Structure 1
Amino acid sequence: MKIYEKASAKINLLLDVLHKREDGYHEVEMIMTMVDLADRLEMTELPRDTIIISSQAGYIPLDEKNLAFQAAKLIKDRYNVRTGVYIHLDKRIPVAAGLAGGSSDAAAALRGLNRLWKLNIPTEELQTLGAELGSDVPFCVTGGTAIARGRGEKLEPIATPPQCWVVLAKPPIHVSTQEIYGKLNAKAISRHPSVPRMRRAIEHQQFYEMCQAMGNVLEDVTVRLYPEVRQIKECMLRLGADGVLMSGSGPTVFGLVAKESKVARLYNGLRGFCKDVYAVRMLS
């Protein structure tokens, strides 16, 4: 028996950091949604008690460092599953890009193995399991659009954003989320993006107001370390994107575009900066 799962990329329409917590994590408020750029996982049950992962991508770990592997081990251990699984990961989302590619793979593995092994684990329980693997995994379990609080695991689903094109561009650098948060001084943030304003814009389907409400307090930190991010932002704005923001801790920058006629101009213009450029739709 084979099970297939799609693991979609996420973008942060808004990312705010309120303060650093006593446990070392940061208290965040984010609004996240998913775009039609995705990895795909094919899962096949094995009679022997083992986890095997393969991929066409030569640049990702295929052992315990892989989040899909960790998800499989977690669910096997927690529910005493004695059979194994072979997972083939068709990798399309760039790694270390601020798009939650690894987290989405882990979430897809949890969903798929729940079906493959007929465990009937409720969605909320899958999200709780996901939180043990990473802050973005609970959101990726269900997808959609949500306000995320805490360290990202407390989710409040909200309406789907107005439909538009999303042009993503990732410079050829890898950014460590841990490094960016480590260099952030939460007390020194002078301007916080407004979650209520973004929520209203989404609920009333006000595309241009949504673009104006976007904000990411990690941007200043990442741009300071990696000036390529600023160059891509400036290029997107010059080429006519309606709203531009860095996703997560970066380095991927996305531009929201209402008119399809602008998409090719942005895509072609950005290819001069980096090879990882994608023109996709926001998922409804």
Structure 2
Amino acid sequence: MNFAERITKIPRQIIYAVIALAIIIPLIAPIGMAINVMPQTQKLIDAIESLPPDSKPVLISCDFDPQSMPELYPMLEATLNHCFNKGIKVLVLALWPQGAGMAEMALKKVPEVYNRKYGEDYVFLGYKAGAAAVVLGLGDNFKNVFPADYYNKPLDSLPLTAHIKNYNDISLVISFSAGDPGYRTWLLYGQAKFGFKLGTGVTAVSAADTYPYLNSGQLTGVFAGMKGAAEYETALAKKGYTLTSRNATKAMDAQSLGHFFIMVFIIIGNVGYFLIRRKK
């Protein structure tokens, strides 16, 4: 067997082993590949960065499930880190029932790092069915939609929510969206009617669909997929902010290295094929 035939018949076990190592090693020992922050990511970062500590709260909607967690959960965690670093208060809800679990996971982890107090610095409203009705109802009166928080505490009894009535008392809405309901629900039934600032984080496959809304100014900014989450983490780290994790950055190292070796094997296979073909 000559050289050309050998490189076209690399055992699949070797290929799988190389790809596995290319993915596993960066997750254990991050390489730190350069990540450039894209304009759509920077716009949403700037929108949060421009808010003073005494600004109106940011409203975060967790509209995703565990299936899209690798891409969207790091965005959620980074946003909470960003807000709490700056002393911005946060309200969190979910239009997906599974999103409530994602939100609670982050809220059990991030606030304690900054000694933030529940009810004063952040409130978890939980999940409410009827997405469009929820978004429209919040524009009228938050307490009509959520009389109590996720833990059945009346909103009137919590310092943060006692004086919040509608979107006029919110500085920015961010939807981490894996589908429908998601950012389009907030856009069509909320932003278009009430005019609040809206940003979103979406899975990579949905990113292209957001650009018309971004270009029209209806979306303030977009975090696009795992790369968008990694860009966000990188931007916050450069500003010197505390981060509870940088999972998206680690994952991008693994993804990039994995893709690199896949391309290497494709090139090797094609080189071998053309060498064999030339000899014939």
Shorter-chain TM-score range = under 0.3
TM-score (ref. length: structure 2): 0.26
The higher-RCO structure (CA 8 Å, 6+ apart) is 2
- The structure where strand makes up a greater share of residues is 1
- Structure with bigger helix share is 2
